[in-house]
Structure 1
Amino acid sequence: MDNSIASRIITILGELEVSTANVTPDTTFEAMEIDSLLLEELALRLQMSFGIEIEMGELVPEQTVAEAAAVISSKGVAVA
């Protein structure tokens, strides 16, 4: 898992007004009470941020931030 990608996900969640004070890479979206609409908005922002395509169903409430980072990393994203 790429920690810089996970950090960027957490930053974007904060921009979406999700409380990220206690969020770690092992926190699930479900635990953050992120609904499907907010998950779609997150996916759109991640696509813009990383210049990738995220298909429907690639991000799900049961995923952790680290698992979402792995999905993004698998698309060839390299973050310095």
Structure 2
Amino acid sequence: MDKFCYSCGAPLDMPDFKGISEDYCKFCIDEQGSIKPRDEIQAVVAEWLKTWQPNLNDKTALERAASYMKAMPAWAD
């Protein structure tokens, strides 16, 4: 079964994303294995969105990242 990061949705079965945690990718946790702050991860997700939607401005990218993150288990309301 495929496993995805609870914070950003990155595929954990890919070596580029796998870290020390079973539930989070190496980009969403710090050296101790704790999840990074929401705003840090939101900024990274926003930049990722802009890589495949280059016309997005920063404000819209951050808003879309916030919306996307609400679907992730770590950030669900």
- Give 1 or 2: higher helix fraction: 1
Looking at CA atoms only, which structure, 1 or 2, has the larger radius of gyration? 2
Fold match by TM threshold 0.5? no
TM category, shorter: 0.3 to 0.5
TM normalised by structure 1 equals: 0.35
RCO greater where, 1 or 2, for CA within 8 Å and sep 6 or more? 1
